[in-house]
Structure 1
């Protein structure tokens, strides 16, 4: 028998039982709670969760899907529970569904016309040792290469407060005092931290600098006893090769589908 979980704290507690599998849900629930609505169904130890994200609170979605009003992320333990979530999905607006299984795609597709747009692959590594040259780990905002991260669309106004709270650090490769490559890691929830913003100046590419800064960030997370998440778009072959070269493990693929309104169907 399905029961609806309505207490926000209990919803988070349930999701945190499987933090990597639910990392995307946890990321939005903890970072932009004012922009989301959540519905969770429970049956014994099985769980299905729907997160509706208003694109006014998601810069990426607002820029990438300008015709869509919201995103619907589903994480479900079985197809029939996914089906039970669909009455909570609005049918009078353009949506982006973000789904992590073919079963969910099939169930949602019965009620909503969907067109695939892209996929994001998440990797992790909890057993990592640093060898060879190391990049520099930074925790001081005055030394952070915000100009590099801006090239990837990450604003200093977002990253700087995280660093000041001890919830982010940078990893950089420098030559003669010039930062040529960098990335950062930031807290998502609990022990889960995400590595992002990997960027190398065009004139410094092909020298393994990106691998070095990501490698150092992974080692720093391991030193702190934290769990890494590294996310790449499925078309970004260099980043996929980097993750595989570092021995990272793929644990989640989240596929985006655009859906038109279905009012009256």
Structure 2
């Protein structure tokens, strides 16, 4: 088993918790300085990624040198990971456990800048397909204005659909009212994103209908649905919680510069 496969296997033990690590490893493993520590039954994974590698980090943290992600099975492994952290660099820590931040605080001055919430569900009676919602497994050009209003590019959209993405949308005739896309984030975790409702169709609960239907289709395909929101996006948080999604992971971003 390769170093990469061993790390992926460890992280996939809890794919939703580790979705950011899995996503970065899948997309950029050749550009990441990755560490796997194995001590008897315990293990730890550390990812050090140049801040300019991922477009979001490049835009959001232009002064940073390195993005740090980690997971470990026991605090006993943390010292071995700590030894591999660059002390003089400007770091962005993306941490999915409060314990990780607490372990780092004696060694780094950390400043919290944002949190992202991952919502999910394993289904239930409240989740059912809305028969008026249209599912499409190819790029529907009628929906491009809504998707691009969320800053998706054609290159991104084509890539998602080539990898099996699908959209769920509501129309008035040929006019799109509300839409979302479900796309592969990692092997088992699929993202519900690009949620957008035309301005004239808002305040009618249409986004709830398309997202709820998207969740059902995602679960029916055997995937874990993930709906990620920034902590400040109260409307999106209300949407997630109103249809019965629950917060599964909180990913906090901390700077040491």
Structures share fold, TM-score greater than 0.5: yes
Q: Secondary structure at the match of 1:123?
A: strand
Structure 2 gaps of 5+ residues are none
1:251 maps to 248
State the match for 1:95 in structure 2.
Answer: 91
Shift of 1:195: 1.0
Q: 1:83: Cα distance to partner?
A: 3.3
CA RMSD for the aligned pairs?
A: 2.0
Are 2:231 and 1:231 aligned? Answer: no
Shift of 1:64: 1.0
Is structure 2 residue 233 aligned with structure 1 residue 202? Answer: no
Q: How does 1:1-265 map to 2 (within 5 A)?
A: 7-128=3-124, 129-130=127-128, 132-143=130-141, 145-166=143-164, 168-260=165-257
Q: Compute the TM-score of the two structures, normalised by the length of structure 2.
A: 0.91
- Structure 1 residues 44, 22: CA separation in 2 closer, same or farther (over 3 Å shift)? farther
Measure, in 2, the Cα distance between the counterparts of 1:250 and 1:46: 27
Change beyond 3 A, Cα 1:43–1:246: farther
**Rounded Cα–Cα distance in structure 2 between residues aligned with 1:162 and 1:131:** 22
**C-alpha displacement at 1:237, in angstroms?**
1.4
TM-score (norm 1): 0.88
Counterparts in 2 of 1:135 and 1:83: CA distance versus 1, 3 Å = farther
Provide structure 1 residue ranges, at least 5 long, that are not aligned to the other structure.
261-265
Offset, 1:132: 4.6
Change (3 A) 1:202 1:183: same
